[in-house]
């Protein structure tokens, strides 16, 4: 069974968009066992490998770690009155987002970054992805034979361009990963940048 709903495109485990103010927080899966420990460590290692690829501008190699039906989405965050939590994030498939990509548009992003003439990345920026707080939210069909998982994590991404241009992105991610022939592949990434206004001059890198 897929962990992504065909109707809402949200992970099946989620009753609403992740990380919304006042929203549900998935509880721990229960008592730790060896299967869960090994699976969580395997996923954590995969996410750190992703971070290495992105830091070293190996975007083509990173793209190979995604599925053909990937969805890469980052909503815009809003300042709202207390209790109006349903407005705090832009709605998926209905409103603008910082990222709203599939495999084809990610391919175009990568080709542009590889061209050597990207106006905001010539010369290339120095980038550092820090990933932490990896939580296993769901595994299908089971933890000991998982071929699809939903995980949450936190990120800090530092970017330095030219001499003194700096950007700092902090936030949360919820990923759905599928096991393929060569390892785990990213099927969905929801990215929640903890800024209501993007403080960077641009957003050319992947988070």
The domain over range 34-193 is classified in CATH as 3.90.79.10: no
Strands 126-140 and 97-101: unpaired
pLDDT, tens digit (0-9, with 9 covering 90-100), for 91-126: 888 899 999 999 999 999 999 988 888 888 888 999
Instruction: Give 104-111's long-range contacts (Cβ < 8 A, gap of 24+).
Output: 106/63, 106/66, 106/70, 106/72, 107/63, 109/59, 109/206, 110/59, 110/60, 110/63
Spatial neighbors of 41 by CB under 8 A, at least 6 apart, are none
Other Cβ atoms within 10 Å of 77 Cβ, number: 21
Half-sphere exposure at residue 150, Cβ-oriented, CA atoms within 13 angstroms: 20
Q: Report CA-CA distances (Å) from 99 to 25, 48, 158.
A: 24, 21, 18
| pLDDT band at 176; cut points 50, 70, 90 | very high
- pLDDT at res. 120: 85
- pLDDT at res. 70: 97
Record the pTM. Answer: 0.91
């Amino acid at each position: 069974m897929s962990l992504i709903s065909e109707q809402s495109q949200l992970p099946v485990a989620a009753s609403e968009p992740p990380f919304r103010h006042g929203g549900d927080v998935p509880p721990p899966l229960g008592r730790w066992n060896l299967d869960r420990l090994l699976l969580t460590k395997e996923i954590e290692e995969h996410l750190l490998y992703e971070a290495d690829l992105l830091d070293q501008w190996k975007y083509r190699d990173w793209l190979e770690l995604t599925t053909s039906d990937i969805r890469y989405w980052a909503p815009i965050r809003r300042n709202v009155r207390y209790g109006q939590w349903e407005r705090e994030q832009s709605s998926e498939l209905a409103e603008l987002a910082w990222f709203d990509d599939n495999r084809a548009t990610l391919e175009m992003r990568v080709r542009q970054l590889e061209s050597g003439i990207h106006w905001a990345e010539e010369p290339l920026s120095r980038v550092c992805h820090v990933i932490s707080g990896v939580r296993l939210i769901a595994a299908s069909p089971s933890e000991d034979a998982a071929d699809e998982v939903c995980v949450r994590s936190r990120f800090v991404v530092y970017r330095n361009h030219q001499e003194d241009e700096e950007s700092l992105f902090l936030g949360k991610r919820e990923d759905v990963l599928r096991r393929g022939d060569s390892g785990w592949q990213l099927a969905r990434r929801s990215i929640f940048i903890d800024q209501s206004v993007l403080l960077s001059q641009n957003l050319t890198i992947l988070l």
